[in-house]
Amino acid sequence: SGVKGARMCWEVTLFRDQIVLRYLVILIGWPPNIPFQDFSKRGAPSFAQMRELIKLMETGKLYFAKATSAQLRVARMDASGISP
């Protein structure tokens, strides 16, 4: 992210509050077949899926982008409306 001390949040409400609304960004490119949740919880992405996420980040296909005012409005109303 380029923000010193920034930490990722994997629970939808925390992601909205601590990432989207704090830094005014959204996450682009998260594959729909990979669950967006804490990697240590049951049903979390497999090792192969984590490798896929890393590859997407390394190739610039998974990234943060500045959120629009409309996206931020959606986020404020419903955390699930803005999560990957």
Q: How is the chain split into domains, by residue range?
A: 12-81
Q: What pLDDT does 72 receive?
A: 96
pLDDT given for residue 1 in this prediction? 59
Within 8 A by CB and 6+ apart from 36, the residues are 10, 12, 15, 30, 83, 84
Write down the pLDDT at residue 82: 87
Q: What is the pLDDT of residues 21-77, one digit of tens each?
A: 999 999 999 999 888 887 777 777 788 998 999 999 999 999 999 999 999 999 999
Nearest to 24 by CA among 80, 61, 66: 66
Phi first, then psi: give them for residue 27, nearest 5 degrees: -100, 120
